[in-house]
Structure 1
């Protein structure tokens, strides 16, 4: 569990710098320059991610069950993760109503992804992993929405074409991951 926690600290820590230490981040960005800052950021993210995957794999070998997932949890998780993929796509597709309505769809998508996985996994390692991502995403969403409100940020109006790109792109990415990649990369096939 220690490797998993260390990975979460590294990965979510570096992804939280802008949330909790914006002035420090700006100073480091200015001191190091964009390329070096992004290089260090990417390196710490990659190390954290590898530690998360490795640590979760270690913890899965001897799971400690906290609860048995309810009947239908896999199906509800599939639905929630599909919504999460649409939200994450909306963060990158310009001119969609979803981004205008949600403000920070990436954080919202990660939070929904984490909730879905918490419902379907009752082990302590799953609670640590998905709980950490949920707390990070919920905090990031609330912090950025608060900043937007104080700054009077208004996101541009969306278009139907932008909405379609976000929805279709998110659903295609979800289907590829759910039906092909999840079993290969994670070792669990969501649909049997």
Structure 2
């Protein structure tokens, strides 16, 4: 029995040492991909027409005060929505001049009225329809285009007032103490 165990152990040693171990496969690292730069987009020469604003300012002098009425028409920032902002204020030109010479601005009270609505452009007519038709009436504007371009040069309202392209209102934040 002893001999049998010895022969088996010897065979195992020879068999175990006679087997050739397979070398581990070395997986090569993935090839380095060239990083392609995104194609350069040419700067657009056309100005951003996402929001369009037209304004008209009327000053009227009565007695010693100057009454100012500014109308701002904004449209095109979201589908067919539009807004008309009417700002009214008055000031004394003499006091304003004195304040300017003294180096400070004259504080004046402004009244702003926001009228939300929708707009529609058909041919050479711009129609502003307010949301509250019971309080405000719809207004029609004649459109004057720039020659040889599709840009609007100015709008003319029903009272022959010329609304020129202007600055849109910046968002306002009112903080109270």
Per the normalisation by structure 1, the TM-score is: 0.19
Of the two structures, which has the highest relative contact order with CA contacts closer than 8 Å and spacing of 6 or more?
1
Higher percent of residues as helix: 1
Higher percent of residues as strand: 2
